Amino acid sequence: MIDLCGALSLVGEASAANDASLVPMTSSDAELTRLLGDARTWAAQDPDPATAAALTKLVRLADDGAAAARQELSDSFSGTLQFGTAGLRAALGPGPNRMNRVVVRRAAAGFTAFLTGAVAQAAPGTRPRAVIGYDARHNSDIFAEETAAVLTAAGVETFLMPAPLPTPLLAYAVRALACDGGVMVTASHNPPQDNGYKVYLGRHAVDESGRGAQIVAPYDALIAAEIDAVGELSGVALATEGWTVLDPSVAADYEAAVAALARPEHFPARELKIVLTPMHGVGGATAVAVLHAAGFTDVTLVSEQAKPDPDFPTVNFPNPEEPGALDLALETAARVDADLVIANDPDADRAAVAAKDPDTGAWRMLRGDEVGALLGAHIVARLAAGRGSGGGGETPAGVFANSIVSSRLLARIAGAAGYEHEETLTGFKWIARVPGLLYGYEEALGYCVAPSLVRDKDGISAAVLIAEFAAAAKADGKSIFDTLDELYLVHGLHASDQLSIRVADLGLLDAMMNRLRVSPPASFGGSAVETVTDLAEGSAQLPPTDGLLYLTKDLSRIIIRPSGTEPKLKCYLEVIRNVDSAAELPEARHEARVALDAVLADVREALGL
């Protein structure tokens, strides 16, 4: 935990004690006095005049009895942000439970201490190197410069991205610049009031499998401990200069490397009309440049969402998975008669895909598992084309991977082609660490198609390969839905769905998980449960994580786990139906939907809903 309140609380408690000697106080009065004292002390040390002024006004309103101001103070000062494998992420504002310059400066100091210590131990005498990126959210550039100032003052050779750029470009730069660490200031697809702080390790700071990837345990705890050890803010040294603002060529290098992923010698089709939306984020210019360089020149940007805007004015929630988020893109696609819609989230590390279903004539967004399978099959085809006829009978080398909650279809595709396959815990911090990784994905629209360039999910490199397989299908007179059907005919129809249960009380998550462990369901959707795996026990393949996995006699799979980032219980469902001919697919789809609905009903009953 980032303990920014300890010293501040003493001030509030002393003030409350003095007041109590004059007038008896209720517990709520004492709490308010503590909050006001903490807030005044914070405002006095806040290096940001805007948040200091806002906090001073909030204190005045709370002191005058404004209930909303008191609640805001309580939310801001009654807890501290926890630094974990996702770094930091919270609403902007003053106080230890918000994202602001004080919290960022302390986080940067703790990360710097960890980084310099790790490099000194692994490569004595080596000067640490770090690179910092940022998106276009409110205060992202300020937080990035704060971090650069702290790193530089500690003797770290520090590079700062030249402009707001996508998260995958920062992940690329960690490896391309041989850095020991990286920081990306972004809240990805969170609401506009949020910001965040994502940490990567490289070169000397972590073993080979994690270089260029997001942190995992135990690095999160080690960095958190260093943050806890940071003393008074006045003791954190800041440089006023000395870091290197990178030349814009770093973006050009990334664009060239990603565009070079295209294989026109094997997949020459380029006749494809694409509608692209960066969702008011930072990926638009980079994605268009990469697609053009790869030969896909007919790209229409959704004009209302083309430029970075930290307020995300046209969407309720800037996440391509959210209902309504693609409405403008689909309207644009209908107007220009496009073949494909590609949507990146605001920091461009995810990609959503939509196309016109030839059976219904309606535009439909594909599930992450559907895109994951299509990309997997296309990468298998690319590798086979690269080996050519001279490949002989050699066993293909490399590994395909996906998170455990993603579809089992990729495993069948990889296995049929002779490749190994691994399942990991949820999150690209795990997928990116798979040794020999050729391709990895997770159902939440994250795809890693070029792990040698970006050891993380990358919505821009994914867009290139998505365009490539969509153009190849069109050239053959098919849609990407036809390509999916071809996979189902070979490997079985894999149909999936999800159930998310949001709770106000986190204790309910434990209660629901305990209910399942004490009274395990005997069947789902009329199929008997044959295997129950408690993921909390861990295995040789997976570290322990809170979750339960059920396999039924008819191969239905149900995974139930608490979310790692939100107050939700998440349930992932998949059913498989084997089909022998294209004529059987419509009935198989209907049967799969009926089966999923029955499984959903049983999951709800098992959870006591």
Per-residue pLDDT reduced to its tens digit, 273-299: 999 999 999 999 999 999 999 999 999
Percent of the chain with pLDDT over 90: 86
Examine the pLDDT at 2 and tell me if it is beyond 70: no
> Beta partners for 363?
356
Give the per-residue pLDDT at 98: 95
The token pair at 241 is 């200069």
Please tell me the least confidently modeled range out of 210-224, 332-346, 373-387, 559-573.
559-573
Listed in order, the ranges of the chain carrying CATH 3.30.310.50 are 492-606
**DSSP per residue, 474-492:** HHTT--HHHHHHHHHHHH-
Please tell me the least confidently modeled range out of 58-67, 107-116, 169-178, 571-580.
58-67
Q: What is the pLDDT of residues 209-260, one digit of tens each?
A: 899 999 999 999 999 999 999 988 999 999 999 999 999 999 999 999 999 9
Q: Which residue type does 321 have?
A: E
Give the per-residue pLDDT at 569: 94
For domain 265-488, the CATH class is alpha beta
Please tell me the least confidently modeled range out of 69-83, 363-377, 451-465.
69-83
Query: What's the CA angle centered on 319, arms 314 and 320, to 5 degrees?
Result: 90
Calpha distance 363→341 (Å, rounded): 9
Helix, strand, coil proportions of the chain in percent (round to 5)? 45, 20, 40
- Model confidence at 30, pLDDT cuts 50, 70, 90, reads confident
Task: Tell whether omega for the bond before 218 is within 30 degrees of 0, i.e. cis.
Answer: yes
- Model confidence at 497, pLDDT cuts 50, 70, 90, reads very high
pTM of the model: 0.92
Query: What's the CA angle centered on 317, arms 497 and 328, to 5 degrees?
Result: 90
Give the per-residue pLDDT at 441: 98
Query: What's the CA angle centered on 509, arms 507 and 511, to 5 degrees?
Result: 70
Give the per-residue pLDDT at 386: 87
Which residues touch 212 (CB under 8 Å, ≥6 apart)? 171, 172, 174, 175, 200, 202, 432, 454, 455, 456
- Model confidence at 449, pLDDT cuts 50, 70, 90, reads very high
- Residues 317-343 have a mean pLDDT of 96
Other Cβ atoms within 10 Å of 536 Cβ, number? 13
- Residues 430-452 have a mean pLDDT of 97
- Taking phi over 0 as left and psi of -120 to 50 as alpha, with beta for the rest, 155 belongs to left
Residue ranges in 366-479 assigned as alpha helix (H): 368-387, 409-416, 428-431, 459-475
Percent of the chain with pLDDT over 70: 94
Calpha distance 45→1 (Å, rounded): 20
Give the per-residue pLDDT at 320: 95
Q: Does domain 88-247 have CATH number 1.10.357.10?
A: no
Give the per-residue pLDDT at 506: 82
Give the per-residue pLDDT at 505: 83
Give the per-residue pLDDT at 396: 82
Listed in order, the ranges of the chain carrying CATH 3.40.120.10 are 88-247, 265-488
For domain 492-606, the CATH class is alpha beta
CB-based contact 276:291 (threshold 8 Å):
yes
Q: What is the pLDDT of residues 135-158, one digit of tens each?
A: 999 999 999 999 999 999 999 999
Give the per-residue pLDDT at 86: 86
Alpha carbon 84 to chain centroid, angstroms: 14
Give the per-residue pLDDT at 547: 96
Calpha distance 150→25 (Å, rounded): 43
Calpha distance 428→442 (Å, rounded): 8
Nearest to 478 by CA among 375, 360, 357: 357
- Residues 8-17 have a mean pLDDT of 31
Nearest to 441 by CA among 486, 377, 364: 377
Give the per-residue pLDDT at 79: 85
Biggest CA pair distance of the chain: 92
- Residues 523-541 have a mean pLDDT of 95
Examine the pLDDT at 21 and tell me if it is beyond 90: no
Please tell me the least confidently modeled range out of 172-181, 479-488, 556-565.
556-565
Nearest to 572 by CA among 537, 603, 601: 603
Q: Which residues carry out catalysis?
A: 188
User: Cα dihedral sign for 15, 17, 21, 23?
Assistant: positive
- Residues 533-544 have a mean pLDDT of 93
- Model confidence at 27, pLDDT cuts 50, 70, 90, reads low
The tally of CA atoms less than 13 A away on the side-chain side of residue 470 is 23
